[in-house]
Structure 1
Amino acid sequence: MSALLVAGTQTPVAATEARASARTALKPCTQRVSVEVFREGGVPLLDWRENLEFDGHGTLWVAHIAKHRVEGYAPDGTLKTSFPVNGPGGIRRGPDGFMYVNFGVNPLTSGLGGGIVRFDPTAAHPEPEKVVDGISGINGLAIDAAGNFYVSRELATGILKIRPDGTKDEQWTRAASVFGTNGLEIVGDQLYASVITSTASPVVRIPLNDPARHTTVTELSPNPWDAKVLDDLTSFGGDLVVASFRDGELIRVDPKTGGSCVLATGLRMPSSVRVPRGFGDHDPRRELFVVEASGRIMKVTVR
């Protein structure tokens, strides 16, 4: 079942104008978008799918936080495999081809500790291997070309940077002093983060080589009582697309100007959005995949 929604690219505006636009509601983008169910969900919240990533070899990997497992889906929506992971959250493909997943993200299991596991997506029966342990209060994940991990924390200041050998880069983390980050995405030498705890709903940019120079790209909430509750975000067509968990929206942001518009509406508590890569005939130039706390996996096509 699909529904036609208003969507598209925004008209570029100056960065100062983008700041001023925070006082007014976001307008729809100009392109059309179709939204359809790729995989049906179950009971909302009890079937919460938290994050997703494509391995580039034909499988969509989904972190099912409510059922404590990672699932692998084929391009036709068929469930190919699954395996247990305690409270899985952010999931990303590393430069080595392995998939990495935050664990211990579910607040109900935070007492058991958290960290990062990895698995081989080409294995017939993937088995998670712990690579980072002893971190808590974590959520989103990004991995740079050198294999460094960046981990968001919703109730703490500073994005965690963890080196490939598992040691923490404390100096980098202190410099990236942004409170309440959720989604993370690396574009070139910049790390972009959504902030879930601020009523202004900001998206921030952190230079990988100079994190103290982090800046706000835009603020997406027109009023404090209209916080978007921003979740994960991804790079798409030179822009950023960020999920608004509260409003059921995908919001498109020009990272150069901060110009923003609503790309899609009508989603049910969207928690992560990614571009399909190496996933059958799905087109990364026109499609986005979304997981929701409703349990659904959605496909969004930009016309």
Structure 2
Amino acid sequence: MKVFQEGGVPLLDWRENLEFDGRGTLWVAHLTKNRVEGYAPDGTLRTSFPVPGPGGIRRGADGMMYVDFGVNPLARDGGIMRFDPAAARPRAERFVNGISGVNGLAVDADGNFYLSRELATGIVKIRPDGTKDEEWTRKADVFGTNGLEVVGDQLYASVITSTASPVVRIPLKDPAHHTTVTELSPNPLKIKLLDDLTSFDGDLVVASFRDGELIRVDPATGRSCVLANGLRMPSSVRVARAFGDHDPRRDLFVVEASGRIVKVTVG
């Protein structure tokens, strides 16, 4: 484990989410400073710009970057903003608003967006044109989702509010038939507070905010193991993608509520 970017005061310097744009920049949602930051492979801060309460951040099917905003229980508005990662001076513009309590974000191959809500039932689906798919959302009636990741025709979600710490599978074409892949906290007193998750080498890697762990889960069997520990309130994990000499087969990047960005090399 190697620190890519140092943090500040824990919880007051909260970096919430991250994503690689495939063009050599790591984009980070800095929650407490209300901004998105762009980093070079050597750790240099290339740019930053304001986004109110940024959360889940993902590369869209169109090459644009999308980021949740209003990730704050007191926020009056929330939704998705977007920006061009290739712009000399990126600037976020509103894409969808009027969705409160949002947190995680995922995008499928057709350009549909999925937003998690920690204190509500139903994963919100937004079509590429920005309209809401209300029927899909009603059928995806999972309460308390946080991290989201699309793998093929399945959407995987971590649930932060359940004492069982489950990971759930939601078929994109049949969301009512969602199933539990695994429960990572058999003891309800040891809830892991699952945060974001990513796909890695055929498995899922989930961040445990409470325990400071990355947990590897086999989506076919539900078997799990601790991939890394000793992190400080990890909130998101992503595989390095077209990011200098960082190896996507081995290198995972993690952001924490401590403010740090950490590189974890597997194997």
Q: Do these two structures clear the TM 0.5 threshold for a shared fold by scoring above it?
A: yes
Matches within 5 A, 1:229-240: 229-240=193-204
Partner of 1:21: none
Partners of 1:233 and 1:133 lie apart in 2 by 24
Cα-to-partner distance string for 1:186-218 (whole Å, 9 max, x where unaligned): 000000000000000000000000001100000
Partners of 2:149 and 2:140 lie apart in 1 by 14
Which of residues 216, 225, 238 is equivalent to 2:189?
Answer: 225
- Residues paired across the two proteins, number: 267
Cα-to-partner distance string for 1:61-90 (whole Å, 9 max, x where unaligned): 000000000000000001000000000000
Cα-to-partner distance string for 1:145-169 (whole Å, 9 max, x where unaligned): 1111100000011100011111111
Partner of 1:213: 177
In structure 2, give the amino acid aligned to 1:140: G
Partner of 1:101: 67
Partners of 1:65 and 1:105 lie apart in 2 by 8
2:102 partner SS: coil
Partners of 1:80 and 1:43 lie apart in 2 by 22
In structure 2, give the amino acid aligned to 1:273: V
Partners of 1:91 and 1:184 lie apart in 2 by 11
1:179 partner SS: coil
1:174 partner SS: helix
More helix by percentage: 1
Quote the sequence identity (%).
Answer: 82
Q: CA deviation at 1:134?
A: 0.7
Cα-to-partner distance string for 1:1-38 (whole Å, 9 max, x where unaligned): xxxxxxxxxxxxxxxxxxxxxxxxxxxxxxxxxx1101
Partners of 1:201 and 1:150 lie apart in 2 by 20
Moved beyond 3 Å, runs of 4+:
none
Partners of 2:131 and 2:42 lie apart in 1 by 40
Cα-to-partner distance string for 1:113-170 (whole Å, 9 max, x where unaligned): 0110100001110011111011100000001111111000000111000111111111
Which of residues 116, 119, 122 is equivalent to 1:152?
Answer: 116
Alignment gaps of 5+ in structure 2: none
Q: CA deviation at 1:253?
A: 0.1
In structure 1, give the amino acid aligned to 2:105: L
Q: Does 1:278 align with 2:242?
A: yes
Q: Does 1:299 align with 2:256?
A: no
Partner of 1:14: none
Partner of 1:177: 141
Cα-to-partner distance string for 1:233-260 (whole Å, 9 max, x where unaligned): 0000100000000000000000000000
In structure 2, give the amino acid aligned to 1:252: R
Which of residues 201, 208, 229 is equivalent to 1:265?
Answer: 229
In structure 2, give the amino acid aligned to 1:66: T
TM-score normalised by structure 1 residue count: 0.87
2:103 partner SS: coil
In structure 1, give the amino acid aligned to 2:34: H
Partner of 1:45: 11
In structure 2, give the amino acid aligned to 1:81: T
In structure 1, give the amino acid aligned to 2:63: G
Alignment gaps of 5+ in structure 1: 1-34
Partners of 1:131 and 1:164 lie apart in 2 by 10
In structure 1, give the amino acid aligned to 2:70: G
1:82 partner SS: strand
Matches within 5 A, 1:68-87: 68-87=34-53
Q: Does 1:242 align with 2:209?
A: no
Name the structure, 1 or 2, with higher relative contact order (CA <8 Å, separation 6+): 1
TM-score normalised by structure 2 residue count: 0.99
In structure 2, give the amino acid aligned to 1:105: V
